[in-house]
C-alpha cells in the first residue's frame, strides 16, 4: 500500500471514529429524552465511603484511606450532581459546615464556575461554618439581611437547569446521622420557581440596598456585592 493510500485509509478511519462518537452521543441524548427530565430522590443518613475519585479523576485508585471504595451512596450521588456544574451554581443553604461539600464548591469555583451563595445571617458565623472559607476564596456570599427571620432554604441550582432540594442541611450530622431527603430534577416546571426565588433573595439581600448595621461602632457582618 502506498503512502497516499495509507493516508486516505487513516483519514477515512478518523472520520468514521468521529461519526461513531457523534452517533453514540446522539443515541445517549435520545435515550435520556425518551425517559423524560431527570428525576432522582436521595435519602439520608448516608454511610461513609471514599469519594476522592470524584475530586481527582486522574488519580490511580484505590486510594490509601480505610473507607470503602467503589460504593455509590446518596452522598456520593449528591456530589456527582453538584460537580456536574459547568457554568453556574446558585446555592441557598441555611447551615453549611460539611467539609467535603465545601471542597466541591471550592473546586467548582477554581474551575471557573460562577458560584453565588445565599445563607442565614446567624448560622453563617457558627463554629465550623464553611461560609468564611468560601468568601476567602472569592465566592460571592450574601446573607439574610433581616434579623427577624431565618433564611431556612436548602436548595441548589446547577447551570440553571438542575434543581437539588430537600430537608438536608449541609452538615456532617445531617449527612451521616439524620433522616433527610434530597430531590434532584430537571423538570422546568419545578426548576423555574426556584430560579425566581433565588434571584428574589439575591436582589433583596444586596448590601447596596441596605444601610450598614453597626453595634458598638463596629460593622456587624461583611456582605458581598456583585462583581
Please report the pLDDT score of residue 59 as a whole number. Answer: 61
- Say whether the peptide bond before residue 206 is cis (omega within 30 degrees of 0): no
Residue of 53, 122, 159, 206 marked catalytic: 159
Task: For the chain, 227 residues long, give each residue's pLDDT as a single digit of tens.
Answer: 666 666 665 666 665 665 666 777 666 666 655 678 899 999 999 999 999 999 987 666 568 889 998 899 999 999 999 999 999 999 999 999 999 999 999 999 999 999 999 999 999 999 999 999 999 999 999 999 988 999 999 999 999 999 999 999 999 999 999 999 999 999 999 999 999 999 999 999 999 887 765 555 555 544 465 54
Residue 181 pairs in a beta bridge with 43
Would you call 154 a catalytic residue per the annotation? yes
Give the HSE-up count for residue 103: Cα atoms under 13 Å, Cβ half-sphere. 10
**Structural domain harbouring 130:** 36-46+74-209
Q: Which helix (H) or strand (E) holds 24?
A: helix 3-35
Whether 29 is covered by a domain: the verdict is: no
Please report the pLDDT score of residue 29 as a whole number. Answer: 62
Would you call 122 a catalytic residue per the annotation? no
Whether 63 is covered by a domain: the verdict is: no
Residue of 152, 200, 210, 222 marked catalytic: 152
Please report the pLDDT score of residue 227 as a whole number. Answer: 45
Would you call 159 a catalytic residue per the annotation? yes
Whether 216 is covered by a domain: the verdict is: no
Distance CA 74, CA 44 (A): 7
Q: How many domains does the chain have?
A: 1
Whether 65 is covered by a domain: the verdict is: no
**CATH of residue 142:** 3.30.870.10
Whether 101 is covered by a domain: the verdict is: yes
Whether 30 is covered by a domain: the verdict is: no
Please report the pLDDT score of residue 56 as a whole number. Answer: 86
Whether 201 is covered by a domain: the verdict is: yes
Q: What is the 3-state secondary structure (H, E, C) of 43-85?
A: EECCCCCCCHHHHCCCCCCCCCCCCCCCCCCHHHHHHHHHHCC
Please report the pLDDT score of residue 4 as a whole number. Answer: 66
* Secondary structure (3-state) at 190: helix
Residue of 81, 98, 154, 162 marked catalytic: 154
Amino acid at each position: 500500500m502506498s503512502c497516499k493510500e495509507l493516508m486516505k485509509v487513516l483519514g477515512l478511519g478518523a472520520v468514521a471514529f468521529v461519526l461513531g462518537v457523534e452517533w453514540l452521543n446522539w443515541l445517549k441524548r435520545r435515550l435520556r429524552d425518551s425517559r423524560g427530565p431527570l428525576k432522582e430522590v436521595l435519602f439520608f443518613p448516608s454511610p461513609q465511603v471514599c469519594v476522592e475519585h470524584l475530586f481527582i479523576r486522574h488519580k490511580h485508585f484505590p486510594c490509601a484511606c480505610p473507607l470503602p471504595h467503589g460504593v455509590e451512596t446518596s452522598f456520593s450521588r449528591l456530589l456527582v450532581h453538584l460537580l456536574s456544574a459547568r457554568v453556574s451554581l446558585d446555592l441557598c443553604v441555611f447551615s453549611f459546615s460539611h467539609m467535603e461539600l465545601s471542597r466541591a464548591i471550592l473546586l467548582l469555583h477554581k474551575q471557573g464556575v460562577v458560584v453565588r451563595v445565599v445563607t442565614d445571617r446567624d448560622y453563617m458565623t457558627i463554629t465550623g461554618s464553611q461560609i468564611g472559607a468560601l468568601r476567602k476564596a472569592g465566592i460571592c456570599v450574601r446573607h439574610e439581611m433581616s434579623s427577624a427571620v431565618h433564611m431556612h432554604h436548602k436548595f441548589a441550582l446547577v447551570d440553571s437547569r438542575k434543581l437539588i432540594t430537600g430537608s438536608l442541611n449541609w452538615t456532617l450530622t445531617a449527612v451521616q446521622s439524620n433522616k433527610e431527603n434530597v430531590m434532584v430534577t430537571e423538570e422546568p416546571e419545578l426548576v423555574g420557581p426556584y430560579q425566581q426565588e433565588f434571584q428574589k433573595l439575591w436582589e433583596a439581600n444586596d448590601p447596596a440596598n441596605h444601610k450598614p448595621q453597626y453595634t458598638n461602632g463596629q460593622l456587624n457582618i461583611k456582605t458581598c456585592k456583585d462583581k
